[in-house]
């Protein structure tokens, strides 16, 4: 299953696919409440950044009782505008962005274009396992695929996501998301209160005084994030 970077699409397919994605986005938003934050995302081949809602659910946490592969510890891109992750993953992204904020000028990309190939990653000096921000860049690659594939995104995604990355044609869906996805940072003022609260808690091994001595209260985090992020387009 190969498709080029800019496959020709019939107009009818685009219209129907886009309409369905808009309808699905509205439905998911009405069911999911407020996103935990919004991000700038796109594929390398796109010139303009898109704003994508990231929703968090405990079903996708690493210690969730929901089944693995579909839920536990898994991020999923539902539509062009919606990515769903675990609360623990969202917290990890925010911690990384607090320390090393991405921007549209310096977006996060998946090192070596692979999240599950330690050797290929080592060849470019990257750690063997991807950071949460890289995984989010991979999901941004999937949002681009929703634009290209329209209605076909869901059946193709369902069929090929579980094959992961690799050298075969059936790995192309996942390879492409890793090669093209770009995460351009968190949208200013979009982080929800619960995530701010989570970030202000000490982690195991950290104590309250360390958190406070670093000025990591929810309010300072909010202002730090808004200072590092600027509203951008294209």
The torsion angle over the Cα atoms of residues 174, 134, 94 and 85, rounded to 10 degrees, is 10
Minimum distance, C-beta of residue 129 to Zn ion, in the bound complex (Å): 15
Nearer to Zn ion by Cβ, of 92 and 174: the residue is 174
Minimum distance, C-beta of residue 38 to Zn ion, in the bound complex (Å): 20
Minimum distance, C-beta of residue 77 to Zn ion, in the bound complex (Å): 7
Spatial distance between the Cα atoms of 174 and 164, rounded to a whole number of angstroms? 6
Interface contacts to Zn ion, rule CB under 5 A: 174, 177
Give me the residue label for tokens 């999911």.
32
Task: Output the furthest CA–CA distance in the chain (Å, rounded).
Answer: 60
Query: Residue 12 corresponds to which tokens in the numbers above?
Result: 């009818």
Minimum distance, C-beta of residue 43 to Zn ion, in the bound complex (Å): 13
Minimum distance, C-beta of residue 161 to Zn ion, in the bound complex (Å): 5
Q: Within a 13 Å sphere around the CA of 37, how many CA atoms are in the beta-carbon half?
A: 30
Nearer to Zn ion by Cβ, of 52 and 221: the residue is 52
Give residues with Cβ within 8 angstroms of 181, minimum separation 6: 41, 43, 109, 110, 137, 138, 139, 140, 141, 142, 143, 144
Nearer to Zn ion by Cβ, of 161 and 217: the residue is 161
Residue among 44, 45, 74 nearest 58 (CA): 74
Minimum distance, C-beta of residue 54 to Zn ion, in the bound complex (Å): 15
Nearer to Zn ion by Cβ, of 130 and 196: the residue is 130
Residue among 105, 183, 189, 197 nearest 142 (CA): 183
Nearer to Zn ion by Cβ, of 147 and 196: the residue is 147
Nearer to Zn ion by Cβ, of 131 and 198: the residue is 131
**Is 65 exposed, middle or buried (CB count within 10 Å of its CB: 0-12, 13-18, 19+)?**
exposed
């Amino acid at each position: 299953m190969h498709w080029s970077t800019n496959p020709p699409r019939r107009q009818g397919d685009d219209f129907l696919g886009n309409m369905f994605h808009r309808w699905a986005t509205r439905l998911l938003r009405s069911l999911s409440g407020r996103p935990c934050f919004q991000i700038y995302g796109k594929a390398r081949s796109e010139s303009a950044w898109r704003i994508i809602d990231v929703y968090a659910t405990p079903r996708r946490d690493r210690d969730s009782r929901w089944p693995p592969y579909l839920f536990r510890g898994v991020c999923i891109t539902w539509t062009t505008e919606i990515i769903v992750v675990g609360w623990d993953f969202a917290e990890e992204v925010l911690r990384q962005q607090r320390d090393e904020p991405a921007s549209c000028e310096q977006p996060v990309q998946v090192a070596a274009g692979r999240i599950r190939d330690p050797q290929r990653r080592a060849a470019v000096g990257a750690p063997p396992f991807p950071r949460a921000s890289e995984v989010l860049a991979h999901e941004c690659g999937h949002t681009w695929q929703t634009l290209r594939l329209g209605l076909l995104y869901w059946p193709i995604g369902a069929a090929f996501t579980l094959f992961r990355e690799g050298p075969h044609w059936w790995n192309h869906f996942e390879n492409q998301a890793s090669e093209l996805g770009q995460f351009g940072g968190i949208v200013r003022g979009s982080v929800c209160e619960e995530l701010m609260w989570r970030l202000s808690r000490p982690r195991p091994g950290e104590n309250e005084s360390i958190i406070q001595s670093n000025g990591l209260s929810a309010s300072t985090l909010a202002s730090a994030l808004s200072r590092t992020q600027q509203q951008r387009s294209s």
